[in-house]
Amino acid sequence: MINNNEAVTLNVAEIRCVYICVLVTLIFVFLAFFWKIFISITQKCKKKSLKQSLKEILYKYRWDIAFSIGILSTIIIFWILLAHTFNQDELLINTDTLISTQMEDWGGFATCVTAIFALVSVFLAFKAFSSQTLAAKRASFDATFTQIFAQHSILYKKVQCPSMVHCHFAGFRRYFQFRIYYNAGPVTNQQIWEEYNRRLQIGCGEECSSNFKNYFKYIYKEVTYIRDNSDGLLNDADQRQYVGLIEGQMNNDELFCYLVNLLEYYEKNADNQKLISYFEYLKQNAFFKEICKTDGYKDDVKKVFDLLNESCRNTVCNSLIEQKWLEYGKP
């Protein structure tokens, strides 16, 4: 029996074992958390600045950080109580270690241990709730995207005019080539785009021309829906997959038309930062990569950017595509 005036001696090996168990647990928890943060920052820094990446990471993991700080604070208090109870108020290992026999010391120690497990339980409950909320948001996103994606095919059919033999998208590319290679005089992407739409209006009617232009407006809405609803819901790989579904739905003639449509709009709105941001998002998701690599279309893409540089003297090309996509022999 131990009376109130006695203290139980704990040898160095035993107290070191207790300290190591606590330290190892603490180290593994925080290494795992900060490694996750580091990987996320590294991936985002490839595409964004460090300041912007840190801002997004801190916002995304704000609750994880808050709970980690709470757990760390509790562990520090636990460490102090551990030293007080087992190590005579010495934070480091003491060769002359005694176990306290004071009930208030053990009461404080037990309270702190209970607090740690309570915090962990609250954190796990919060993570479970967050996971359920995230799953519900993802299901809602997928349902809406499915409806939007289905409408894409409907709008494509509306663009096709029964009175014309060829496809309007292929027709635009042929008209672009005619204006560039066989028609003398300076020209811009905007002029070619407007001229072709006037031809559609005359040949097929106002509705046909309107459907042709609205088709590309809808693509913009599809892509921005993914971008604007991805925060905390879709990682970069998920976004690329969804954007890839839209790009994969379009043939090369459609992609070429959309490229010209974007750049002719840029010629009229060169200072539009929102548009530049959209260009960069398309580049991040390699939207125009395939058309840049495809023989026949590659030269036309280069010419589109040549016309842009002649009219705007701008390097927006680097915001929309990778230059290596246009190089021969690149995978």
Q: What is the model's pLDDT at position 241?
A: 93
DSSP type of residue 169: H
DSSP type of residue 267: H
Distance CA 275, CA 251 (A): 23
Sign of CA dihedral 95, 99, 104, 105: positive
Distance CA 31, CA 29 (A): 6
Contacts 24+ apart (CB under 8 A), 176-181: 176/256, 176/260, 176/300, 176/304, 177/300, 180/303, 180/307
- The string of pLDDT tens digits covering residues 98-127 is 555 555 656 666 666 676 677 677 777 877
Distance CA 231, CA 242 (A): 14
Can you say how many angstroms the Cα of residue 197 is from the centroid of all Cα atoms in its chain? Answer: 36
At residue 288, φ and ψ (nearest 5 deg) are: -105, 15
The residue length of the chain stands at 331
Distance CA 275, CA 264 (A): 12
Mean pLDDT on 15-36: 64
Q: What is the model's pLDDT at position 10?
A: 46
Residue 278, pLDDT > 60, answer: yes
More confident position, 219 or 108: 219
Full-prediction pTM beyond 0.85? no
Q: How far is CA 32 from CA 25, 309, 313, in A?
A: 11, 49, 49
**Residue 291 in contact with residue 245, Cβ under 8 Å?**
no
Nearest CA-CA partner of 72 in 46, 34, 35, 108? 34
Q: What is the model's pLDDT at position 180?
A: 87
Mean pLDDT on 168-184: 87
Instruction: Tell me the domain boundaries of the chain.
Output: 8-132, 160-326
CB neighbourhood size of 163 (10 A) = 8
CB neighbourhood size of 253 (10 A) = 18
| Amino acid in position 18 | V
Distance CA 266, CA 87 (A): 71
Model confidence at 133, pLDDT cuts 50, 70, 90, reads: confident
What tokens appear for 197 in the block?
């739409």
Q: How far is CA 106 from CA 8, 84, 97, 214, 269, in A?
A: 13, 10, 16, 73, 71
Residues 6+ apart with CB under 8 A from 4: 101, 102
- The string of pLDDT tens digits covering residues 73-85 is 666 766 666 665 5
Residue 4, pLDDT > 50, answer: no
Model confidence at 63, pLDDT cuts 50, 70, 90, reads: low
Q: Which residues pair with 98 in a beta bridge?
A: 9
Dihedral, CA of residue 54, residue 58, residue 61 and residue 67, to nearest 10:
130
